[in-house]
């Protein structure tokens, strides 16, 4: 096989059976030694001799630089970084918005979405095309979210920590909470951030289990194989039988105790009604900090009707950097966003040092 400056490829076929032009193009496709991320298209057949003992053809090849996938199948840290480069919300954040919006929907993560549509959405995201999930089925969104985790090269909970995970799962009840906290702290920063948000979301879903029928145990059954069980376990029939119950039951424990493990979640991704559209520079604080927000609002002053009630205040934070690559508790100083007496929203002053004492 030879190449020249005119982007032509010459290939000699030592088989008189290859007398159809389509076969030549297939041979080119099979043999041209380019990386998977490169694509080429055969544009025009310049020359083709009749089939003899040795046949030769020259094809004019148009090379197109392939666009490697941006998210699915890539390491988590690369996928998150790609979203920052593209200035779009990451798939895990986009999905979380709508999962929490439709949190009372029956069978979240248990009922499958439309496989064709899920594949289409995956393709769009991998091409860097921003998708509008507001028009998609919530079950398609849940399936897409779960598919992202299942295609990570390493599990969200890395295989290197799997033995520690099983050890913590078998710890005494009096020590399990502390063991679990220490275990999660060992996760890489990106994994820890996404894991905390996932678990917090699953906890919120389970709080509506009387409506959506998704208990913490049901959710653990859905997610343990996807984010915990490593490939080595799947290849061992005995291991998968013994490990599935242990990993699932421990994940249920983590979901049920997320409010104790993460008393101040890094953010809650749902913007309130009436607030401007969410952007990747806006971080909504979790419900777990509502009491703190109320306390700070009371210190800032009283309105004409008395103290600012907790249901009349929304508390936000804007990060100084991207929403990712930040540990819990490292966010920028706070700004209070209050509903005024006319039902509008006004920004209060930043919380200063004197307010934190």
- pLDDT over 80 at 181, yes or no: yes
59: number of Cβ within 10 Å: 23
pLDDT of residue 57: 52
Instruction: Report percent pLDDT > 70 for the chain.
Output: 55
Q: Is the pTM of this model over 0.85?
A: no
Domain co-membership, 94 together with 59: no
pLDDT of residue 242: 84
> What is the SS3 assignment for 7?
coil
Residue that terminates a domain, selected from 17, 45, 64? 64
What is the span of the domain harbouring residue 30? 2-64
Residue that terminates a domain, selected from 15, 31, 64? 64
CA 319 and chain centroid, separation: 19
Domain co-membership, 180 together with 244: yes
- pLDDT over 50 at 289, yes or no: no
Domain co-membership, 168 together with 206: yes
251: number of Cβ within 10 Å: 25
pLDDT of residue 69: 72
Mean pLDDT, the chain, integer:
68
Identify the band that residue 311 occupies on the pLDDT scale cut at 50, 70 and 90: very low
Report which of residues 256 and 338 the model is more confident about: 256
- pLDDT over 50 at 68, yes or no: yes
DSSP letter for each residue of 92-124: HHHHHHHHHHTTT-TTTTTS---HHHHHHHHHH
143 to 55, 121, 123, 126, 325: CA distances (angstroms): 50, 11, 14, 16, 26
Domain co-membership, 139 together with 163: no
Q: Do residues 284 and 271 touch, judged by C-beta distance below 8 A? A: yes
pLDDT in tens, 211-248: 999 999 999 999 999 999 988 888 888 888 888 999 99
């Amino acid at each position: 096989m030879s190449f020249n400056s005119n982007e032509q490829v010459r290939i000699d076929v030592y088989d008189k059976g290859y007398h159809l032009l389509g076969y030549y193009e297939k041979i080119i496709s099979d043999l041209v030694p380019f990386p998977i991320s490169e694509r080429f298209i055969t544009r025009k057949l310049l020359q083709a001799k009749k089939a003899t003992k040795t046949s030769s053809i020259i094809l004019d090849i148009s090379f197109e630089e392939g666009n490697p996938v941006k998210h699915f199948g890539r390491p988590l840290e690369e996928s998150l970084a790609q979203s920052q480069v593209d200035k779009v919300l990451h798939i895990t954040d986009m999905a979380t918005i709508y999962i929490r919006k439709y949190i009372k929907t029956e069978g979240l993560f248990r009922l499958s979405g439309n496989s064709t549509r899920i594949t289409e959405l995956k393709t769009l995201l991998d091409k860097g095309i921003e998708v509008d999930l507001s028009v998609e089925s919530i079950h398609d969104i849940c399936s897409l979210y779960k598919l992202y985790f299942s295609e990570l090269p390493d599990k969200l909970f890395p295989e290197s920590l799997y033995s520690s995970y099983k050890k913590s799962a078998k710890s005494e009840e009096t020590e399990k909470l502390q063991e679990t906290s220490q275990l999660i702290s060992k996760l890489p920063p990106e994994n820890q951030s996404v894991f905390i948000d996932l678990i917090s979301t699953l906890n919120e879903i389970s709080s509506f289990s009387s409506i959506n029928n998704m208990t913490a145990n049901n959710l653990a059954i859905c997610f343990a194989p996807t984010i915990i069980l490593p490939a080595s376990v799947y290849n061992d029939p005995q291991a998968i039988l013994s490990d599935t119950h242990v990993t699932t039951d421990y994940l249920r424990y983590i979901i049920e105790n997320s409010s104790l493990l993460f008393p101040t979640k890094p953010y809650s991704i749902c913007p309130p009604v009436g607030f401007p559209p969410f952007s990747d520079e806006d971080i909504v604080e979790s419900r777990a900090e509502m009491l703190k927000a109320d306390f700070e609002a009371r210190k800032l002053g009283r309105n004409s009707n008395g103290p600012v009630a907790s249901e009349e205040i929304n508390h936000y934070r804007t990060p100084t950097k991207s929403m990712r690559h930040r540990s819990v508790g490292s966010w920028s100083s706070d700004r209070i966003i209050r509903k005024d007496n006319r039902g509008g929203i006004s920004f209060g002053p930043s919380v200063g040092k004197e307010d934190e004492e």
